[in-house]
Amino acid sequence: MKFSFLGCSIVAIFSVCVACDDRPEKQISSAFQSVGNDYATGFELRETENGYIIRVNRPWQQATDENFIYKLSREEKQGAIKIPVSNVVCMSTTHIAYLETLDEISSVIGLTSTDFVYSKAVKKKLRSGEIQDIGFSENLNLEIIIALHPDVVFAYVIQASELRQLRQLEELGIPVVLVGDYLEPTPLAKMEWLRFFSCFYDKMPPADRIVDSIATRYDSLKNSIPEHENKPKVLTNVPWQGVWWVPGGDSYFAQLIEDAGGDYIFADYEGTESHAVDIEQVYQRANDADVWIHTGDADTYKEVFNADRRMASFDELTGLEIYNNNRRKSGRGNDFFESAVVHPDRVLSDLMKIFYPDMANADSMRYYKVLTKQGGNSK
């Protein structure tokens, strides 16, 4: 097992790491024995006398035994991040949802992928210059981040090679914390990363109350679905750059569909990652589908079928209702990829209304909308 930050290698670590602690590594590791989240597996935390110790596990795709430990302290202390933090940089727009829920958007001074922001508060701060655009992925504008000199950078990485440029920030004394919320396989696990972010603002008690409240409502909704012999069969997504990617049967979206009482037609595809599927195979399975969700940016049937010339045959499917998760959009920003991360209960409620419309009016959905039948399939 590796306990590290980023430093000059995967194993070495900047001053925030536990390797700088006076206690032996075995003792630090044992501190996590009694720690357990209710849902999330990507991080563990322990409250200390003056703050927290957090361990992030496998924070990028295909990671194996990489673990990163961070010390947070309410006092100025070598080897620790001083909390509460006041100025942060976020490398994913999903981080916005967690900070907005904690009422800490005012702390954000740098952000990536700004074109895809939905939050009105963040958009306003971008326009005023209070939040700077820091670039994206391997094209980060390190000069801007260095000039901002944030208390911490919440980093999003997909592969280990992306750590290289982040080490440059560490060498200049800017703490970088890896966030792997996007790798969680269940809705409640992803939502529970609110506890992770709350540690940096020293807001654990209110975060715990929010997590418990959302989880209780989620479970209540899930348990309210009557038993059905014939669950609605669900198709997801559209081709992207010529490839139809479908979520694995153990993924976040597959879990949402199951919890909402749906029968995901690719549930037999193992794992949490997405699979590339031939469009012919998708069409064959779609013949049995009742509901089609997550159709890109489409607002009409015509737009769905025009997304790929090979989609013309799907226009012949009858009895297939199409819904998209783009009800709440602002420019290129979609709130489904912001607030929905922290509110899986609302997503579950929407999907239940789609799968079982007799239970509630679909007009009351928050993130989803039924596509208009202008053009394309006119059933």
Specify if 375 maps to a domain: no
Domain that holds residue 197: 2-214
Specify if 192 maps to a domain: yes
Instruction: Tell me the DSSP string of 84-108.
Output: S---EEESSTHHHHHHHHTT-GGGE
CATH of the domain at 358: 3.40.50.1980
Specify if 322 maps to a domain: yes
Specify if 292 maps to a domain: yes
Report whether 341 contacts 334 (CB < 8 A).
Answer: no
Q: Judge if 106 and 176 occupy the same domain.
A: yes
Q: Residue 4, CB half-sphere, CA atoms under 13 Å: how many?
A: 17
Q: Judge if 256 and 139 occupy the same domain.
A: no
Specify if 277 maps to a domain: yes
From first to last of the 379 residues of the chain, give the pLDDT tens digit: 433 445 333 333 333 443 334 443 334 444 444 357 999 999 999 999 999 999 999 899 888 888 999 999 999 999 899 999 999 999 999 999 999 999 999 999 999 999 999 999 999 999 999 999 999 877 889 999 999 999 999 999 988 888 988 999 999 999 999 999 999 999 999 999 999 999 999 999 999 999 999 999 999 999 999 888 889 999 999 998 889 999 999 999 999 999 999 999 999 999 988 999 999 999 999 998 999 999 999 999 989 988 888 887 887 776 789 999 999 999 999 999 999 999 999 999 999 999 998 877 667 899 999 998 765 443 3
Specify if 378 maps to a domain: no
Q: Is 293 exposed, middle or buried (0-12, 13-18, 19+ CB in 10 A)?
A: buried
Report whether 371 contacts 340 (CB < 8 A).
Answer: no
Rounded CA gap, 334 and 142, in Å?
A: 27
Q: Judge if 205 and 273 occupy the same domain.
A: no
Q: In whole angstroms, what separates CA 83 from the centre of its chain?
A: 24
Element (H, E) at 56: strand 51-57
- Of 166, 195, 214, the position where a domain reaches its end is 214
Q: Judge if 114 and 186 occupy the same domain.
A: yes
Q: Judge if 206 and 63 occupy the same domain.
A: yes
Specify if 101 maps to a domain: yes
pLDDT digits (tens, 9 = 90+) for 12-63: 333 344 333 444 333 444 444 435 799 999 999 999 999 999 999 989 988 8
- Of 185, 214, 243, the position where a domain reaches its end is 214
Structure tokens at 112: 């990536």
Q: Judge if 252 and 139 occupy the same domain.
A: no
Closest by CA position to 286, among listed 248, 242, 235:
235
Quote the number of domains for the chain: 2
Q: Judge if 56 and 178 occupy the same domain.
A: yes
| Sequence-ordered list of residues with C-beta below 8 angstroms from that of 24, at least 6 positions apart, any chain | none
- Of 179, 214, 249, the position where a domain reaches its end is 214
Q: Judge if 113 and 135 occupy the same domain.
A: yes
Q: Judge if 24 and 157 occupy the same domain.
A: yes
Helices (H), the chain: 25-30, 94-101, 120-128, 142-148, 163-171, 187-191, 193-200, 204-223, 252-259, 279-286, 301-305, 339-342, 344-355
Closest by CA position to 209, among listed 101, 121, 105, 108:
101
Q: Judge if 206 and 234 occupy the same domain.
A: no
Specify if 42 maps to a domain: yes
Q: Judge if 43 and 151 occupy the same domain.
A: yes
Report whether 224 contacts 354 (CB < 8 A).
Answer: no
229, amino acid identity: E
Q: Judge if 164 and 272 occupy the same domain.
A: no
3-state secondary structure of 349: helix
